[in-house]
């Protein structure tokens, strides 16, 4: 029965657990067994919390046995947590040597909500160091492999979370999205990944990459599962100064509504600047087929223009490194984390520690950001980039007057071979071409599987206005209802 449990959706697992058809402990053990069997060939996890997961599941079983109502619709369902959220009972490394073995004294806001909801946290997943990367090759703890093809990347920075889903090691996962780090791995692994409205999910205890861009969000294998998780982790958090004090959009109801496959009256906008040239032929063909399907469901598909999107990549790679330069200054070898004891002065210790503890991509972005913020260059680079950010937000606002949601391919290509772009930063950065504008504007977006190209998954990106997640989930669920789920080949250890 273990194999069957790992193939079920989170919604089905929750139903069976809450009706006591199966125990939460059995479900947790099945997924822990799956991790033990296949993760050697995937490396999705950096830390597996076997004892804590089983203890958490047992509490759910005890509560149900006592006649109590489930703590949430997902109580007892296992989840993989990206290792950028603090956890008081297990290490939090952000994929970096500079935090190797660090055990935080507190839980992140997302972690606390998961625990309060009775969700079983299986462990922490691999990621590009400090969420800087598009392939999970920049982790200090080894590369994560794509379950569809072990020679290819699972995307990044949240490749571990997406790979855990595709390999059936967990039915749910949490990621973070700074420029596409939830959506691009989802597209590469045939899973669902959601970047909520900025401030819609607590950032408290999320180790910062770029504070004005980072946003945690749900990852799953179905749209409904993502919606269920979204409602668990979403909502206002007074500990996060960027948190929106507004109700969580009714995404579960929207996903259930969308599953009936009727999009009559909805307007879907195709972003002219995010299609055509620069996209792999198979990716473009999959997108064109998705548009035809949306029309069959009753949607009115129109073309919209967002002329400043073409400057998004350049603006992003000035804003993000600038914020990285500021945020990572806290890793000074004085308070926590790695300390390399070399030299007589604090400055020497700090320099030696950062040299040993930070990887090449982190160093590259710190240098870029420090330069962009330096005297004489701030206005020319960082200041101009922020103006572009405003123009992109205006493009979105104008486009949403013509359409309820916007769509594009989630990524320009399918998953690329491991090592193919790691020595070419610009080629790596271009993977974020379609996803970056949403982060700059702070709006919502998601990727849902749209088929295969040469045997590899392709993602459809659906974008919505700020706090417009409900219509986004409705469209995604309707589209999902028209196709069979994508299932990766069996992983070998």
Query: Where does the pLDDT of residue 474 fall: very low under 50, low under 70, confident under 90, or very high at 90 and above?
Result: very high
Domain boundaries, the chain: 2-263+444-480
> How many CB atoms are closer than 10 A to CB 103?
12
Give the number of other CB atoms < 10 A from CB of residue 37: 16
Identify whether the C-beta of residue 79 lies closer than 8 Å to the C-beta of residue 226: no
Mean pLDDT for the stretch of residues 199-226: 98
Query: At 167, is the pLDDT very low, low, confident or very high (cuts 50, 70, 90)?
Result: very high
> Of these residues, 23, 96, 135, 181, which one is catalytic?
181
Is residue 49 within 8 A of residue 89, CB to CB? The reply is yes
Task: List the Cα angle 221/449/394 in 5-degree steps.
Answer: 110
Six token digits for residue 446: 């998601």
- Of the pLDDT bands very low, low, confident and very high (cuts 50, 70, 90), residue 493 is low
pTM for the full model?
0.97
Q: Residues for the chain: how many in total?
A: 493
Q: What's the mean per-residue pLDDT of the chain?
A: 96
Reported as a single tens digit per residue, the pLDDT across 293-329 is: 999 999 999 999 999 999 999 999 999 999 999 999 9
Compute how many other C-beta atoms are within 10 angstroms of the C-beta atom of residue 59: 17
Q: What is the pLDDT of residue 174?
A: 98
CA separation for the pair 360, 425 (Å, rounded)? 11
Compute the Cα dihedral for 364, 381, 314, 469 and give only its sign: positive
Among 252, 255, 250, 86, smallest CA distance to 174 is for 86
Please, what is the end-to-end C-alpha distance for the chain in angstroms? 21
> Residues 108-128: what's their mean pLDDT?
98
* pLDDT band of 491, cuts 50, 70, 90: confident
CA dist., res. 477 & res. 222, Å (int): 8
Helix (H, G, I), strand (E, B) or coil at 458: strand
Whether 181 is catalytic: yes
* Catalytic residue list contains 202: no
Residue 250: which pLDDT band, with cuts at 50, 70 and 90?
very high
pLDDT (tens digit per residue) in 46-72: 999 999 999 999 999 999 999 999 999
Catalytic residue among 157, 202, 243, 408: 157
Q: What percentage of the chain reaches a pLDDT higher than 90?
A: 91
Q: For position 376, what pLDDT does the model report? A: 87
Is 157 marked active-site? Answer: yes
CATH code at 2-263+444-480: 3.90.1300.10
Taking the C-alpha atoms of residue 119 and residue 115, their distance in angstroms, rounded to an integer, is: 6
| Alpha helical stretches, state H, 19-166 | 24-42, 50-65, 109-116, 159-166
Does the structure show a pLDDT above 60 at 1?
no
* Rounded Cα gap, residues 115 and 180, in angstroms: 26
Question: Catalytic residue among 23, 56, 72, 82, which?
Answer: 82
Per-residue pLDDT, 344: 76
């Amino acid at each position: 029965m273990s194999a069957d449990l790992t193939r079920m959706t989170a919604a089905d697992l929750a139903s069976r657990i809450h009706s006591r058809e199966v125990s939460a402990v059995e479900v947790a053990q099945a997924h822990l067994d799956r991790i033990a069997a296949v993760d050697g060939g995937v490396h999705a996890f950096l830390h597996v919390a076997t004892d804590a997961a089983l203890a958490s599941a047992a509490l759910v079983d005890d509560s149900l046995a006592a006649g109590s109502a489930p703590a949430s619709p997902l109580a007892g369902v296992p989840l993989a947590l990206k290792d950028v959220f603090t956890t008081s009972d297990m290490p939090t490394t952000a994929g970096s040597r500079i935090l190797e073995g660090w055990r935080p004294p507190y839980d992140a806001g997302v972690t606390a909500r998961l625990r309060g909801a009775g969700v079983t946290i299986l462990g922490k997943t691999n990621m590009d160091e400090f969420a800087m990367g598009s392939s999970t090759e920049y982790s200090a703890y080894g590369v994560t492999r794509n379950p569809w093809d072990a020679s290819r990347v699972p995307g990044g920075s949240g490749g571990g979370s997406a790979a855990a889903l595709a390999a059936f090691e967990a039915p749910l996962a949490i990621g973070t999205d700074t420029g596409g780090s939830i959506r691009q791995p989802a597209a590469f692994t045939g899973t669902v990944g959601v970047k909520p409205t900025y401030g819609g999910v607590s950032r408290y205890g999320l180790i910062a990459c770029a504070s004005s861009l980072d946003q945690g969000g749900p990852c799953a294998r179905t749209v409904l599962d993502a919606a269920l998780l979204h409602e668990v982790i979403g909502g206002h958090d007074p500990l996060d100064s960027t948190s929106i004090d507004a109700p969580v959009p009714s995404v579960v109801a929207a996903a259930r509504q969308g599953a009936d496959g009727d999009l009559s009256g909805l307007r879907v906008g195709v972003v002219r600047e995010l299609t055509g040239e620069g996209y792999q032929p198979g990716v473009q063909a999959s997108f064109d087929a998705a548009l035809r399907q949306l029309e069959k469901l009753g949607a009115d598909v129109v073309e919209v223009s967002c002329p400043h999107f073409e400057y998004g990549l350049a603006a992003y790679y000035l804003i993000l490194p600038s914020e990285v330069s500021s945020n990572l200054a806290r890793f000074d070898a004085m308070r926590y984390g790695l300390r390399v004891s070399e030299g007589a002065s604090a400055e020497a210790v700090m320099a030696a520690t950062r040299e040993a503890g930070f990887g090449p991509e982190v160093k590259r972005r710190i240098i870029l950001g420090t330069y962009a913020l330096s005297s004489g260059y701030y206005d020319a680079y960082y200041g101009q980039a922020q103006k572009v950010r405003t123009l992109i937000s205006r493009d979105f606002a104008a486009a949403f007057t013509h359409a309820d949601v916007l769509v594009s391919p989630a990524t320009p290509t399918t998953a690329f071979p491991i090592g193919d772009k790691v020595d070419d930063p610009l080629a790596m950065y271009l993977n974020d071409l379609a996803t970056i504008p949403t982060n700059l504007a702070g709006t919502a977006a998601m990727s849902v599987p749209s088929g295969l190209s040469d045997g590899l998954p392709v993602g459809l990106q659906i974008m919505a206005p700020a706090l417009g997640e409900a219509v986004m989930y409705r469209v995604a669920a309707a589209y999902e209802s028209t196709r069979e789920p994508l299932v990766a080949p069996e992983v070998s250890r």
